[in-house]
Amino acid sequence: MKNSQKIILGATLLSMLFSLTFLSNTYAADPVALNTSQEVQYITRIQANYRTTFQYQAQTRLTINSTVNVDLILSCEASKIGAKTFEIEIEGDGDLEMNMTCTEEQADLGLLLGNRYTARNRNRFLYQEAFCISLECNGTFKQAKLMIQATSHNGGGSWAYYDDAKEEWVTVPTIIEDGYLVATIDHFSTWTILIPETDILPYIIAGVALFIGIIAAFSIVGIVIYMKKR
């Protein structure tokens, strides 16, 4: 009788262990599928040290990986944003409350598709990513890493945040890492990708000046030769 009880108890414990392992792997690996009705707002808790992905029907994928628990309110215009793959990694000391809103544009900040922006250093940028993310956080964090999949559409782009005080977009150092445009940041605000635009006017001016110089040089040589013949 005792042996039978031990066998049943062992089988039960083994079954529980298998179930816990299966559930843990599923939670860590499978994306949370969100449909159109959930695009407005989705509230959940991101467990510390778990990689959680949200997958929208329009193929927008948002992945959050944090060293602390995050109580998240998520909003996403997935039907407008389309196929984007975004990830954020957060390092913190205590639990966070975070609002994350993903939109195609931010009209209030002048961020419209096809718009051009001139920075204080006169560099010009183009907005064509169709992905803008606003991050608000209650609590403190050490740093975060923003990542979006690099494509031919955003190649050479840089992460940029909106400076409310100066009322302008400010680009930050951005690298390509494992196929992603990556920036390490120390504050949450409104972020997007801006593409540097090459100003061809200086090249046109330089080309015209070179052409005029060549014509002038040939003219001088021609005049010298003509004078010698005379």
Q: Are 125 and 161 in contact (CB under 8 A)?
A: no
Whole-number average pLDDT of the chain: 82
Q: Are 158 and 111 in contact (CB under 8 A)?
A: no
Q: Are 91 and 67 in contact (CB under 8 A)?
A: yes
User: What residue has token string 């990689």?
Assistant: 51
Indicate the domain borders of the chain: 1-30, 32-199
Between CA 132 and CA 192 the distance in angstroms is 5
Q: What is the pLDDT of residue 52?
A: 96
- 5: Cβ–Cβ under 8 A, 6 or more apart, which residues? none
* Low-confidence spans in the chain with pLDDT less than 50: 1-2, 4-27, 29, 199-208, 211
Burial annotation 169-189 (CB, 10 A radius, 16+ → b, else e): bebeebeeeeebbbbebeebe
Report the phi/psi class of residue 169: left, alpha or beta, with left for phi > 0 and alpha for psi in -120 to 50. Answer: beta
Q: Burial level of 2, CB count in 10 A (0-12/13-18/19+)?
A: exposed
Q: Are 142 and 154 in contact (CB under 8 A)?
A: no
Share of the chain above pLDDT 70, in %: 73
pLDDT in tens, 100-146: 999 999 999 999 999 998 887 788 999 999 999 999 999 999 999 99
- Helices first, then strands: H and E counts in the chain: 3, 16
Structure-token pair, residue 206:
């330089």
Angle subtended at Cα 102 by Cα 46 and Cα 77, rounded to the nearest 5 degrees: 110
Q: What is the pLDDT of residue 221?
A: 64
- How many Å is the Cα radius of gyration of the chain? 28
Whether pTM > 0.85 for this model: the answer is no
Give the H/E segment covering residue 194: strand 190-197
Q: Burial level of 16, CB count in 10 A (0-12/13-18/19+)?
A: exposed
